[in-house]
Amino acid sequence: MEKRLIYLEDLVVGSVFESAIHPVDAEKIKEFARQFDPQPFHVDEDAAVGTFFGGLAASGWHTAAITMKLLVESLPLSGGVIGAGSDISWPQPTRPGDILRVVSTIMDVTPSRSKPDRGIVKVQSDTLNQDGGLCQRSVARLVVFRRDRQTTQVFLSGNAS
């Protein structure tokens, strides 16, 4: 199934995009953490008990990486999902057995002043587990391209100047 690609003109504040689900298990949590975040609470069930997390928890960066995978699949932007930056928080950790999904809401669409072929889109992506628990909230600034630069310029100059 081919997805219809999305351009800047298609994005409306308030639109919501829902991802597929992604299960997370202890092995995956430890595998990611051994490579990128080798701390006791991310790599060892027993050692994790006496820590801040009280048990094995995924690295926040693992949650972020899974979120990106789900976002790329659920928000098919024409030029790709290209982030300039992101403000990210982890209200609760991802745990072994969690089944994650991502709900993304368009918060803001700002045409670029200097580059008329694109704009910056603010997208809030909530990463939820199977109980609706919020494992991550990110507000990303994405570079999104226009479908038709010429048409849009004419349209804008006719309305805004």
Cα separation, 121 vs 11, whole angstroms: 8
What is the distance between the alpha carbons of residues 133 and 106, in angstroms, rounded to a whole number?
Answer: 21
Helix residue ranges, H only, the chain: 26-36, 40-43, 45-48, 60-74, 149-160
H/E element, 121: strand 118-128
In whole angstroms, how close is the CB of 80 to a copy of itself at the nearest point? 5
Residue 101 tokens read as 């999904």
CA angle 37, 90, 144 (to 5 degrees): 95
Give the shortest CB-54-to-a copy of itself separation in angstroms: 12
What's the min distance (Å) between Cβ of 135 and a copy of itself?
12
Q: Which is nearer to a copy of itself, 36 or 155 (CB)?
A: 36
Which residues contribute to the site for a copy of itself (CB under 8 A)? 32, 35-41, 51-52, 59-61, 64-66, 68-69, 72, 79-90, 143
Q: 76, 97, 85: which is closest to 19 by C-alpha? A: 76
CB closer to a copy of itself out of 109 and 140: 140
Residue number, 93 or 109, with CB nearest to a copy of itself: 93
Task: Rank residues 65 and 154 by Cβ distance to a copy of itself and give the closer one.
Answer: 65
Q: How far is the CB of 93 from a copy of itself (least distance, A)?
A: 10
